[in-house]
Amino acid sequence: MSRPRNFRLRRTSGTSLLVVFLLVTLGLSLWLGYQALDAAASHRRTAEGVMADYAGIAAWEYSRHARESLDYLYRWVFDDIPWTLRRHPPSPEVMANDLQRVLRSEGCDCPGLQSRAWFFRIDLQDGATTSDPDTVQAAALARLAETVRSNRQINPDSRIGVITLEPGVLLESASMVIYLISTDSEGTARLAYGVVADSEAFGELFLHWYRSAPLLPATVAASEPRDSLLQVSVRGPSGIQVFQSPVPYSDLFSSTDTLEAEYGSLVVEAAIRPDAAPHLIIGGLPRSRIPLLLGLMVLTMGVGAAALVQLRKEHQLARLRDDFISGVSHEFRTPLTQIRVFAELLDGEKLRTAEERKRSTRVINREARRLTHLVENILQFARVSRFPTSLGELEEIDLQVALEELTEAFEPQASARGARIQMNVEPGVAVVGGRGGLYRILANLLDNALKYGPSEEVVRVRAAMNGDTVRISVEDQGPGIPERDRHRIWDPYRRLDRDVTGQVQGSGIGLAVVRELCAAYGGQVWVEDGEGEGARFVVDLPGIRVREDKLTSGVENGE
């Protein structure tokens, strides 16, 4: 007996619907797989851009440190050389002791530089040369005089100079010359004093700077050895190698920075290893998503539902990311605009009075501090997210000293708004925690109080022992925080609706950093109503009461 026709139709219809659903799901899975591959490629490009930016930071930091160290070297090596000749000119021997002294001050043994360097004096009028030791060949001294004269013609306004020379010009190997020009009372260049050594000898000094200078932020590099993260090389403008860090790598993300002409136009190149990406970027460089695509094709039925959930999460993450980027961009724009405007005024010499110039430098310094606070906050948030237990060594921190230092740092921001920070700290109270973490906690609370409070407000900071903890409160005179929103303000990227639509911009991570750090140190934080309409943020951290004589002894010992 045959089945009813309508049953076969229903079965065929159901099968067709299932096939259509499977085909649609498969197509959706393929499309989502393609989107995943494209997102991974975009993520990789972004991550590679971040790695290149880190290389740029390292190159800039090394250039800055080299520039400052070269200035220090000039100041002390030529300490006994007058810039303006008013008596019998000194001999070049005086620079030898000064070089040893500055190397000791720098903490660099530099045995090659101390043993192979020689010193000279050149009369720029008649070409007469004197060297120490006096065993330097006359032909080499003549070439040196001509080289210094040529470099002087290229940079006539500079009294100092750095020259890199190819092998065979002065020495058998590549060499480097550092010199200073002394003038007569009328400003005419009379004498050139300097020091000569091979590039390998000078490289010892560049190696010392490489090992001692903080090339990457501590919150990014953590405790990783420098040689395992990056390499640095220094070349002359013609490509002569002056310095190469001890461990070379290939396939690097690199960036260069060039010193000014008075420093020999030295080119600094810093390069980051791709293998170091997990230490520098959350998640490291993304891998290929092809296995994921194959898995999506096999698990066709589950992909549809998973894709919908994932799309919803992606949408939420994208919205939070956009809000975060928008907030950070607005926060960065104001100080950057101020710095740029006043820097352009200073550079264009459009400020006539000393008071105007002084005010401009104060604004630039204030806004630079503000930028530093923003950047450190973001880096701290990233570090806590990646290494929640890596908080550094715990110590006893004199709270009164820490708050005084922090208040002084925020004084320019408070003065700009006409506000005042009032402190009431119980003497002899110490917090047990990390110095950097405590600073970030208090800095974020003070920054919020000044940012959201009215002009000419009084921000009250109180601290006292409360049993086994230290209770710190920061109270502003702003609009306060509604009770229904108090549990939401601690979430990352979360801002109140009135702040999102208002004129006060923020990144939404400051209070999240405060909560994470307080929890990590075994404390807690909450918000309550202030005495007026403002908000009072209260922090409880582990603390002890320290004897007054112990605090006095710590201050005398530089602790």
Indicate whether 3 belongs to any domain: no
Q: What is the mean pLDDT of residues 235-242?
A: 91
Q: How far apart are CA 245 and CA 243, in angstroms?
A: 7
Last residue of a domain, one of 273, 298, 323: 298
Q: Which two tokens stand for residue 468?
A: 């086994």
**Residues 294 and 434 grouped into a single domain:** no
In a domain, 354, yes or no: no
Q: Which of 196, 118, 205, 128 is nearest to 163 (CA)?
A: 196
pLDDT at 324: 63
Residue 427 banded pLDDT, cuts 50, 70, 90: confident
341-382 pLDDT, tens digit per residue, is 778 777 777 777 878 777 778 777 767 766 776 676 677 666
106 or 177: which leads in pLDDT: 177
Residue 180 gets the label, from left (phi > 0), alpha (psi -120 to 50) or beta, of beta
Does residue 348 sit within a domain? no
Residues 120 and 250 reside in one and the same domain: yes
Interval 327-350: pLDDT, tens: 666 566 667 776 777 787 777 777
The pTM (predicted TM-score) of the whole model is: 0.46
Question: Are 113 and 255 part of one and the same domain?
Answer: yes
Give me the chain's average pLDDT, please. Answer: 79
Clarify whether residues 220 and 99 are in a common domain: yes
SS (H, E, C) 65-91: HHHHHHHHHHHHHCCCCCCECCCCCCC
Which of 279, 298, 317 terminates a domain? The answer is 298
Please state the rounded mean pLDDT for residues 470-483.
88
Q: Tokens for 336?
A: 């950057």
Angle ∠(305,308,314) on CA atoms, nearest 5:
140
Provide the pLDDT for residue 174.
92
Grouping H, G, I as helix, E, B as strand and the rest as coil, residue 420 is strand
Helix/strand/coil for 49:
helix
Task: Using the 3D structure, point to which of 281, 298, 315 is the last residue of a domain.
Answer: 298
pLDDT at 296 over 80: no
Let me know if residue 407 belongs to a domain.
yes
Residues 150 and 272 in one domain: yes
* Percentage above 70 pLDDT, the chain: 74
Q: Looking at residue 501, which CATH number applies to its domain?
A: 3.30.565.10
**Is residue 268 situated within a structural domain?**
yes
> What domain range includes position 512?
395-556
- Dist CA 267 CA 62 (whole Å): 11
My answer on whether 400 and 284 are in the same domain is no
Q: Report residue 534 as tokens.
A: 């403002």
Q: Do 108 and 253 fall into the same domain?
A: yes
In a domain, 377, yes or no: no
* pLDDT of the residue at 558: 41
- Which residue blocks in 349-434 are alpha helix, DSSP H? 354-386, 399-416
- When pLDDT is cut at 50, 70 and 90, the band that residue 211 belongs to is confident
Do residues 23 and 170 share a domain?
Answer: yes
- Domain match, 265 and 402 both: no
Region 2-8: what's the mean pLDDT?
Answer: 46
Q: Within a domain: residue 323?
A: no
Establish if 355 belongs to a structural domain: no
Number of domains making up the chain: 2
